[in-house]
């Protein structure tokens, strides 16, 4: 079984994509990576479309200077993160946006492409002493896509889009653009799942 619950039982999907401090030389351990962008879209299953978006850059505190690798990968500049709010300021705004959809009544499922975004958010919440607000349910859209399309191998966002005849829109490794494209893959997967 690829998952323990059926995504079709949810009305809304909070599709999140995070960018974080990183380097390709091992100088920033996974446990010390910090969110530098929260990109999210709210996807309405019944309307089959994105109904709202949230995007903010975040100023890192543990590793405040971005590596050249990180800047090239994400296109996020040092100046932009220096001007951005810290996680303790940015995350409450994100949660305020999320809660405007009344998550208790509307059955919103926290979703991302893989497990990384959930785990990174858990780490940042723990580091900053903020309660993680999404509970245990999480939709790994990458696994859902693979299950619905009967793909044995898990692939990245760009390849998954190519597999269904779509191109990537926007800038890869920017949170909001990745979230928008992941929502397109979610939409395709839901439509195919409903037909099967």
The pLDDT-based confidence of 1 (bands split at 50, 70, 90) is: low
Determine how many CB atoms are found less than 10 A away from the CB of residue 105: 8
At residue 43, φ and ψ (nearest 5 deg) are -105, 125
Is 73 inside any structural domain? Answer: yes
- Contact predicate 16/110, CB 8 Å: yes
Is 119 inside any structural domain? Answer: yes
Is 122 inside any structural domain? Answer: yes
Residue 99: its pLDDT value, please?
A: 93
Least confident window among 1-10, 62-71, 81-90? 1-10
pLDDT at 65 over 80: yes
- Contact predicate 38/52, CB 8 Å: no
Averaged pLDDT of the chain: 94
Q: Which structural domain, as residue segments, surrounds residue 173? A: 8-195
Is 23 inside any structural domain? Answer: yes
pLDDT at 5 over 90: no
Residue 12: its pLDDT value, please?
A: 95
| Mean predicted confidence (pLDDT) in 24-48 | 95
Q: Quick one: 6 exposed, middle or buried, by C-beta within 10 A (0-12, 13-18, 19+)? A: exposed
Nearest partner of 2 among 152, 107, 120, judged by Cα: 152
| Higher-scoring residue by pLDDT: 159, 196 | 159
Task: Output the pTM of the full model.
Answer: 0.96
Number of domains comprising the chain? 1
CA distance 116 to 119: 5
Phi-psi region of 147 (alpha: psi -120 to 50; beta: other; left: phi over 0): alpha
| Mean predicted confidence (pLDDT) in 94-109 | 88
- Contact predicate 37/74, CB 8 Å: yes
Is 114 inside any structural domain? Answer: yes
Residue 182: its pLDDT value, please?
A: 98
The pLDDT-based confidence of 73 (bands split at 50, 70, 90) is: very high
* DSSP per-residue string spanning 161-172: HHHTT----S-T
CA distance 52 to 116: 23
Is 3 inside any structural domain? Answer: no
* DSSP per-residue string spanning 56-90: EE-B-SSS-SPPHHHHHHH---HHHHHHSPBHHHH
> For the domain that residue 74 is a member of, what is the CATH number?
3.30.420.10
| Higher-scoring residue by pLDDT: 121, 195 | 121
Q: What is the pLDDT of residues 109-151, one digit of tens each?
A: 999 999 999 999 999 999 999 999 998 899 999 999 999 998 8
Residue 2: its pLDDT value, please?
A: 64
H runs (alpha helix) in the chain: 68-74, 78-83, 87-99, 103-106, 116-128, 141-148, 157-163, 175-195
């Amino acid at each position: 079984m690829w998952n323990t619950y059926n995504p079709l039982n949810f009305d809304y999907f909070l599709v999140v994509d995070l960018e974080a401090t990183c380097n390709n030389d091992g100088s920033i351990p996974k446990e010390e990576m910090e969110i530098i962008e929260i990109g999210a879209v709210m996807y309405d299953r019944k309307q089959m479309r994105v109904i709202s978006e949230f995007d903010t850059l975040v100023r890192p505190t543990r590793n405040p200077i971005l590596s050249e690798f990180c800047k090239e990968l994400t296109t996020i500049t040092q100046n932009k993160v220096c001007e951005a709010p810290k996680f303790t300021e940015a995350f409450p705004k994100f949660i305020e946006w999320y809660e405007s959809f009344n998550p208790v009544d509307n059955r919103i499922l926290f979703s991302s492409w893989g497990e990384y975004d959930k785990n990174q958010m858990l780490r940042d919440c723990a580091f900053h002493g903020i309660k993680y607000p999404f509970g245990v349910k999480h939709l790994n859209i990458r696994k859902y896509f693979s299950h619905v399309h009967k793909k044995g191998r898990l692939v990245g966002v760009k390849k998954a889009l190519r597999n269904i005849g779509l191109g990537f829109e926007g800038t890869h490794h920017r949170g909001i653009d990745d979230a928008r494209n992941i929502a397109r893959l979610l939409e395709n997967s839901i439509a195919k799942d409903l037909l099967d």
